[in-house]
Amino acid sequence: MKQKRHHELLGKLSKLLKSIPAPTESISEVANAFLTLCMGIAFSTYLFNCWFDAKDLTELTAPLYLTVVCLMSFNFIMRPIISMLLGAKLSKHSLIIQFFATFLLVNVIENDATTIIDKILANQGLSLMVLAGVVIAFAINYVMPIRLIHTEFRESRMGEARLMKAQPSISPTERDINTAAIHEAGHALIYSAAEGIPDSFKVVLNDKNRSDATLGQVTCPRSGHFLNTGTELDFEMLLKLGGLAAELAVFGEHADGGRSDIDSYQNLARHYLKAGYSELPYYNEPESQLEVDVNCQSINVLKEEYLTKLVAFMEANKLLLVELSEVLKDKEMLQIEDLLPFFEKSVIPDWMPRVNLS
């Protein structure tokens, strides 16, 4: 009994140790934390030297001053220490902000507020340029995150200027790249049933470091119609689920990168069912929980029907699908001329809707 209990405790201890984040290993992250620590020590030393060397201790012994000094010193020194011990990392924004905070506080100590204001007013042009630079940098980094292309995968948050828990590396692993390549190849293969594909059609695989966690995308710019037929909505829903079906056909399961595909499918399915293109029951304006449940069930049943057909389609074209994913990994971007040979060789079932994208 004791031996069994001993093994259970060892197992729990092993899980606990595995759950502890590894210390920061990146040289840039270590250097970042070390510079922040040195800055904090230097700032704290300067503050306390001012206190010891001051002739008039009236202001320096005030409770407010002592509180600010202690809090700032503790914050500047302990943040980098805690980050290194817990395997967290300090963003570059944090280092820059701490540098400017240190510079500002030192100036406040050396000069009174009136002197600082006079200097700002005397150099209005330079002050406005600095202020404009700070505002523009803030806008670019926080207010207007640039997204040039649609992603089939969810975006991660932008980095923030604060102590952050270490996240998994943004460098995709070999498994990530393989999964993304199959996923995007699955989306692309659905276009085998389409005509009038624009020349701007392309498939991209991003296997480099990505700050926004975008691993790949299929881009097919075309003018959308205000009114869509049932066949066109059918095709759109198959297109949204094509990546997941490809993963299921090749790996037996799908990863969590296709969450946005599911969201898009559900929106299309609601529109499809509301328009009466399916015999499945659907209440356009549900008035009870039962009717809401019926709507959810119809959306899920429709999804399972599509996925069953799509997985069969992907399995029938599995060799072609894998070959396409390998070419995508090799070239990283495929255009219409690269994809047409694959489309021509694919086996298109009778049930798959034919659409014209021109």
Domains of the chain, CATH where assigned:
27-166 (no CATH), 174-356 (1.20.58.760)
- φ/ψ of 212, rounded to 5, equals -110, 10
Per-residue tokens: 148: 């040039």
Residue type, 307: L
- φ/ψ of 204, rounded to 5, equals -125, 140
- Burial of 67-93, coded b for 16+ CB within 10 Å and e otherwise, reads eebeebbeebbebbeebbeeebbbbeb
Ordered per-residue pLDDT tens for the chain, 358 residues: 545 555 554 554 455 444 444 444 455 556 666 666 676 676 666 666 665 555 555 555 555 556 666 666 666 666 666 666 655 555 555 556 666 666 666 665 555 556 656 666 666 665 666 566 556 655 554 444 433 333 333 333 223 333 333 444 567 788 888 888 999 999 999 999 988 888 888 898 886 655 455 788 888 877 667 778 888 899 999 999 999 999 999 988 888 777 888 888 999 999 999 988 888 999 988 889 999 999 999 999 999 999 999 999 999 999 999 999 999 988 988 999 999 999 999 999 999 998 888 7
Residue 182 CB contacts under 8 Å (≥ 6 apart), including other chains: 246, 247, 250, 251, 321, 322, 325
As a whole number of angstroms, the distance between CA 109 and CA 47 comes to 9
Per-residue tokens: 120: 């700002």
As a whole number of angstroms, the distance between CA 52 and CA 170 comes to 47
Half-sphere exposure of 52 (CA within 13 A, CB side): 6
Half-sphere exposure of 195 (CA within 13 A, CB side): 4
Determine how β-strand 89-90 pairs with β-strand 163-164: antiparallel
Total residue length of the chain = 358
As a whole number of angstroms, the distance between CA 190 and CA 246 comes to 10
The model carries a pTM of 0.53
